[in-house]
Chains A and B, each alone.
Chain A
Amino acid sequence: MKIFFTSFLLIFSSVLSAQTIISGTVRAKNGGTLPGANVYLKGTYDGASTDADGRFSFRTQKTGQFTISVEFLGYESHSEPLTLNGKDIKLALELMETFSKLDAVTITAGTFEASDKKQANTISSLDMITTAGAAGDVFGALQTLPGTTTNGESGRLFVKGGDSDESQTYIDGALVHTPYNSTAPNTATRGRFNPFMFKGTIFSTGGYSAEYGQALSSVLLLNTNDMPVQDQFDLSLLTIGPEIAGTKLWKTGAVTATLGYSNLQPYMNLVPQNFEWKKAPESAAAAISIRQKTGKTGMLKIYSSFDNGRFTLGQFDLDQDTMVDYGLRNGNFFVNTSYRTTIGENLIFSTSASFTNDRDKVNFDGNHFDKSLKGFHLKQTASREITEKITLRGGVEWFSRSLEQTFHTPADTFVNSYDINTMAAFTEAELYASKNFVTRVGARLEHNDYLNRSSLAPRLTAAWKLDETSQFSIAYGWFFQNPSDDYLIYTDKLNYERADHYTFSYQSSRNERTLRAEIYYKDYRNLTKQGQGEFYLPETYNNSGSGFASGLDIFWRDKKSIRNGDYWISYSYLDTKRDYKDYPEEAIPGFASKHNLAVVYKHWFDKIRSYAGVNYKYSSPRVYNNPNSPEFNGEKTIAYHTLDVSWSFLFKPNIIFYGAVTNLPGFKQEFGRRYSETPDDSGIYRSTAIVPGSGRFYILACFITFTKKGTENQLDKIQ
């Protein structure tokens, strides 16, 4: 017995002492050594991490067949079989880099992406809010990016030599028919939407995906916030009026309701205005936003708003030589819904729909002009990841737009209207050849029942990653858009307008510094021309217009060099001419300026918890037409300068004070001249300068958030 036991122990200990030393190196395939990789025998506790030179070594007492595994962040795990028989083993292991779209090359040609998720963003959602001069206007903030031209008398987006109606805005995939507030002619507008609503923004200034049509120049894609994180009540007090908002969460959803009222009268009593307001702009708005999770991956978003605004402005009528009133009442109802769900592993369905009912009632010198727009958009898309390197996307869309204009003079009533249905289908493939090369190929087919025309638009983009920090992209595509309402209301004998985009872009990002340079060429054709006939006759209009735009855009952002400071510089050079509208010949359009510069600086003062912003913008002189001169568009405006400042002070975690002044130094701003319709007795067209509403604009605000305080109360909110 004793012998048996001893021999057993002997055998057992001999097993114990059968020790193998496994050592070797771990390298990246086509790369250097990998320090910190995890090397171990599967199913055991024997393993080691590689040292600074990528070497590892460990002992094991196991014998037999095993699997050795290597894991490292950012690399594909690797395993291989191993026979342990007491003999030492040396291994040279290699890992493949993981293919991840997050650090793979991205298509940047023409695109500015803003979201809080990725660090590598060129601009973030917060930037949209804190940019001085924008005063919380999404479109205002975008006008500090290259490719845009500031038109102070409009406030709308003018992108890469395109007119403002060549840009479209989408919220959660659905078209926004009326993104801007209604204003009087030659007064600047703002966007209808609060930038705090959005978690991410993609501003594409050309060469965008086949998913987006009906835009010749740019698309702005706004993605709304997902679930709010807590119940809260917000009170915003602004110099132009108050706003309240309440948010309530439940297990799988949330609702936010907002009420706002604004009236510029008290402000205008204090600050002298260039315009003669008979009734200062006043508006009341209500909005509701609902979030509902369905199943594991579904998310339904509904946003609905109603706003009502009015003002009366006294304008000098150059023909009658007297002041006349321009009064406007606008009612805007908007619903935007989207639903997104993932089926199985990698099939994503998205449905988006929007409906707009917008009504303008204008009183102008005893004449009434009513405009009623109903817009509808429905889109269904499906996206499937075939492999991690191939994604297919496709979808169908239906746009409907109906417009009715009624013009009442004391003597007569004229009614014009049109209904247009556009059906579209698109398909697109995104193919990664490797982490360093991607192409996106797509096509878009549209049919318009009013014009009875179809279009097929190819789109192609590609991007190469040159090294870890820099990449090169190209974008090419055809873009179609219906002629503007101004023409369609009188005729259906027109064709789509078309622009072809060629964009070459270089971007280098390192250490929170980004440089981007882009050159582009746009070829416009089939632009609508208004001939010599009467404006209400269909035969007055044709598609013989054309034009081009080319330019260079430079963007430099540096969040690193100045501690707590962050700045960007945008410069755009634009060369463009076009023959459209009632132009007698090809000419530089009035909205284009050759040189645009924006310098934006923000600084965080931690001692006083304040975020200060200052920006300077410059636009070189634009042209305008003087009917007294034989040369078309032969006059030049003065150059545009503005210097805006803003200050946000975080008083308490839930109280923020905000103040901003636009055009602080009071630069003289003039946007050309307005002329009389008919010459006076001496044969001269009389004119007056187009100026902004006031030399400077001041805004003061206080934002207060109330929440249930105390950690216990937070408990029931976690799902």
Chain B
Amino acid sequence: MKTTLFTLTMLLASFAGMSQKNEYYQAMGETLSQYATCRTVEDFQALGNRFSMIAGNEKEEWLPLYYHAHCFIIMSFMEPSDAVKKDAYLDEAEKSVNKLVSIAPEESDVFALQAMLYTGRLVVNPMERGQQYSILSGQAIGRALGIDPSNPRARLIKLQNDMGTARFYGKDTGEYCSEAKELLAGWDNFSPKSRLHPAWGKDQAAEIVSGCK
């Protein structure tokens, strides 16, 4: 009886200690599952808000910040015309990206996301920002691929940037098809470190491939 009680107390104590972490995993898992149902800027804002809240509780975790920034970058891409809003969303994303660069500089996905942020800045005003941000985005991708050459998201963003440039220069984007097909075929060979780690991008790779004849 005594031993049982002792065991139970110990169990409860460790459960309480664990509970915060468990809550984190649970909240992250739940929130990540909502990505699939996001359709509008408002949906992504609500999702970004959740990640921001989680990031506030888990200061040493980089993943909530990563997804927070990701949501706001997507919002900027989704915003149809208001350049001021696009920049405001990116400002919000940039805060998290800057924190990410300092707390998780060993993560390839952090720099892939930074490249996406710079591409977002470029898209707001390609004429005035093209030169500067295409270089910055290229440098961030270079860093992401330098850390992990197999990171499919870094490769995807590089491919999207390259195709965007080719399209801008009126070139045929067909030459990127083989690369896109190879990326898509090998996508599942890359296994994220955990179920919470970034895994997105396969749909977009498939979309590029479907555009190929």
Q: Which residues of A contact B (CB under 8 A)?
A: 1, 5, 8, 35-38, 40, 42-45, 47-49, 52, 71, 73-74, 116, 119-120, 124-126, 229-230, 512, 604, 606-609, 611, 650, 652-653, 711-712, 714-715, 717-718
Looking across the interface, which residue of chain A has its beta carbon closest to that of B31? A45
Chain B residues lying within 8 Å of A126, measured Cβ to Cβ, are 127-128
B191 an interface residue at 8 Å Cβ cutoff?
Answer: no
Q: Contact: B50 with A229, CB < 8 Å? A: no
In the complex, what distance in Å separates the CA atom of A410 from the CA atom of B34?
Answer: 92
B110 an interface residue at 8 Å Cβ cutoff?
Answer: no
Q: Contact: A715 with B142, CB < 8 Å? A: yes
Partner of A609, one of B42, B52, B170: B170
Take A119-B83, A712-B146, A714-B138 as given contacts and tell me if A38 and B53 are in contact as well, using a CB distance cutoff of 8 Å.
Answer: yes
Smallest CB–CB gap between A508 and chain B, Å? 15
Partner of B26, one of A45, A49, A119, A125: A45
- The contact size tier of chain B is 35 or more
B141 an interface residue at 8 Å Cβ cutoff?
Answer: yes
* Closest 6 pairs between A and B when the two form their complex, measured CB to CB: A711-B142, A38-B49, A49-B46, A45-B27, A36-B45, A714-B142
Q: Contact: B125 with A45, CB < 8 Å? A: no
Q: Contact: B45 with A1, CB < 8 Å? A: no
Chain B residues lying within 8 Å of A43, measured Cβ to Cβ, are 57
In the complex, what distance in Å separates the CA atom of A611 from the CA atom of B129?
Answer: 15
B61 an interface residue at 8 Å Cβ cutoff?
Answer: no
Smallest CB–CB gap between A713 and chain B, Å? 8
Q: Contact: A49 with B83, CB < 8 Å? A: no
Pick out which of these stretches binds chain A: B84-92, B178-186, B201-209.
Answer: B84-92
Chain B residues lying within 8 Å of A1, measured Cβ to Cβ, are 1, 4
Chain B residues lying within 8 Å of A42, measured Cβ to Cβ, are 56
Looking across the interface, which residue of chain A has its beta carbon closest to that of B126? A604
B173 an interface residue at 8 Å Cβ cutoff?
Answer: no
Partner of A604, one of B26, B53, B127, B169: B127
Partner of A52, one of B4, B42, B83, B88: B42
In the complex, what distance in Å separates the CA atom of A699 from the CA atom of B63?
Answer: 54
The secondary structure that dominates the B interface is helix
Partner of A652, one of B88, B141, B169: B169
B135 an interface residue at 8 Å Cβ cutoff?
Answer: yes
Take A45-B27, A73-B88 as given contacts and tell me if A712 and B132 are in contact as well, using a CB distance cutoff of 8 Å.
Answer: no
Q: Contact: B88 with A74, CB < 8 Å? A: yes
In the complex, what distance in Å separates the CA atom of A229 from the CA atom of B132?
Answer: 7
Chain B residues lying within 8 Å of A47, measured Cβ to Cβ, are 49-50, 53
Q: Contact: A36 with B49, CB < 8 Å? A: yes
Chain B residues lying within 8 Å of A125, measured Cβ to Cβ, are 128
Chain A residues lying within 8 Å of B141, measured Cβ to Cβ, are 711
Chain A residues lying within 8 Å of B153, measured Cβ to Cβ, are none
Smallest CB–CB gap between B88 and chain A, Å? 6
B145 an interface residue at 8 Å Cβ cutoff?
Answer: yes
Chain B residues lying within 8 Å of A611, measured Cβ to Cβ, are 127
B160 an interface residue at 8 Å Cβ cutoff?
Answer: no
Smallest CB–CB gap between B207 and chain A, Å? 22
Q: What are the interface flags for B20-60 relative to A under an 8 Å C-beta threshold, 1 for contact and 0 otherwise?
A: 00011011000000000000001001100110111011000
Smallest CB–CB gap between B43 and chain A, Å? 9
In the complex, what distance in Å separates the CA atom of A711 from the CA atom of B137?
Answer: 10
In the complex, what distance in Å separates the CA atom of A37 from the CA atom of B168?
Answer: 38
Looking across the interface, which residue of chain B has its beta carbon closest to that of A4? B5
Q: Contact: A71 with B88, CB < 8 Å? A: no
B136 an interface residue at 8 Å Cβ cutoff?
Answer: yes
In the complex, what distance in Å separates the CA atom of A52 from the CA atom of B41?
Answer: 12
Q: Contact: B92 with A73, CB < 8 Å? A: yes
B70 an interface residue at 8 Å Cβ cutoff?
Answer: no
Q: Contact: B87 with A715, CB < 8 Å? A: no
Partner of B84, one of A44, A48, A120: A120
Chain B residues lying within 8 Å of A48, measured Cβ to Cβ, are 46
Chain B residues lying within 8 Å of A74, measured Cβ to Cβ, are 88
In the complex, what distance in Å separates the CA atom of A652 from the CA atom of B165?
Answer: 10
Chain A residues lying within 8 Å of B136, measured Cβ to Cβ, are 229
Chain A residues lying within 8 Å of B84, measured Cβ to Cβ, are 119-120
Q: Contact: A45 with B53, CB < 8 Å? A: yes
B139 an interface residue at 8 Å Cβ cutoff?
Answer: yes
Q: Contact: A36 with B128, CB < 8 Å? A: no
Take A49-B45, A711-B141 as given contacts and tell me if A124 and B88 are in contact as well, using a CB distance cutoff of 8 Å.
Answer: no
Chain A CB within 10 A, most for which of B24, B26, B87, B127: B127
Other 17 A-B pairs with CB < 8 A, given A36-B42, A47-B50, A611-B127:
A1-B1, A36-B49, A37-B49, A40-B49, A45-B26, A47-B53, A49-B46, A49-B49, A73-B92, A116-B128, A229-B132, A607-B170, A653-B134, A653-B169, A711-B138, A711-B141, A715-B143
Chain B residues lying within 8 Å of A230, measured Cβ to Cβ, are 135, 139
Smallest CB–CB gap between B120 and chain A, Å? 14
Chain A residues lying within 8 Å of B124, measured Cβ to Cβ, are 119
Q: Contact: B139 with A717, CB < 8 Å? A: yes
In the complex, what distance in Å separates the CA atom of A421 from the CA atom of B127?
Answer: 45
Q: Contact: A512 with B135, CB < 8 Å? A: no
Chain B residues lying within 8 Å of A606, measured Cβ to Cβ, are 168
Q: Contact: A609 with B128, CB < 8 Å? A: no
Q: Contact: B143 with A718, CB < 8 Å? A: yes
In the complex, what distance in Å separates the CA atom of A94 from the CA atom of B142?
Answer: 45
Smallest CB–CB gap between B189 and chain A, Å? 22
Smallest CB–CB gap between A613 and chain B, Å? 12
Partner of A229, one of B24, B57, B139, B145: B139
Q: Contact: B46 with A653, CB < 8 Å? A: no
In the complex, what distance in Å separates the CA atom of A44 from the CA atom of B46?
Answer: 17
Chain B residues lying within 8 Å of A512, measured Cβ to Cβ, are 83
Chain B CB within 10 A, most for which of A5, A42, A126, A711: A711
Chain A residues lying within 8 Å of B132, measured Cβ to Cβ, are 116, 229
Looking across the interface, which residue of chain A has its beta carbon closest to that of B89? A73
Chain B residues lying within 8 Å of A5, measured Cβ to Cβ, are 8
Looking across the interface, which residue of chain A has its beta carbon closest to that of B44? A36
Looking across the interface, which residue of chain A has its beta carbon closest to that of B1? A1
Q: Contact: A124 with B42, CB < 8 Å? A: no
16 A-B residue contacts at CB 8 Å? A36-B45, A43-B57, A45-B27, A45-B54, A49-B45, A119-B83, A119-B84, A119-B124, A124-B128, A126-B127, A126-B128, A653-B165, A711-B158, A712-B142, A714-B142, A715-B143
- The residues in B between 82 and 125 inclusive whose CB is less than 8 angstroms from any CB of A are 83-84, 87-89, 92, 124-125
Chain B residues lying within 8 Å of A120, measured Cβ to Cβ, are 84
In the complex, what distance in Å separates the CA atom of A650 from the CA atom of B169?
Answer: 8
In the complex, what distance in Å separates the CA atom of A44 from the CA atom of B19?
Answer: 11
Chain B residues lying within 8 Å of A119, measured Cβ to Cβ, are 83-84, 87, 124-125
Chain A residues lying within 8 Å of B50, measured Cβ to Cβ, are 38, 47, 49
In the complex, what distance in Å separates the CA atom of A8 from the CA atom of B136?
Answer: 59
Take A73-B88, A119-B83, A652-B169 as given contacts and tell me if A715 and B146 are in contact as well, using a CB distance cutoff of 8 Å.
Answer: yes
In the complex, what distance in Å separates the CA atom of A36 from the CA atom of B46?
Answer: 6
Chain A residues lying within 8 Å of B23, measured Cβ to Cβ, are 44-45
- The residues in B between 153 and 182 inclusive whose CB is less than 8 angstroms from any CB of A are 158, 165, 168-170
Chain A residues lying within 8 Å of B129, measured Cβ to Cβ, are 116
In the complex, what distance in Å separates the CA atom of A629 from the CA atom of B175?
Answer: 76
Q: Contact: B169 with A609, CB < 8 Å? A: yes
In the complex, what distance in Å separates the CA atom of A43 from the CA atom of B92?
Answer: 21
In the complex, what distance in Å separates the CA atom of A617 from the CA atom of B94?
Answer: 43
In the complex, what distance in Å separates the CA atom of A116 from the CA atom of B146?
Answer: 31
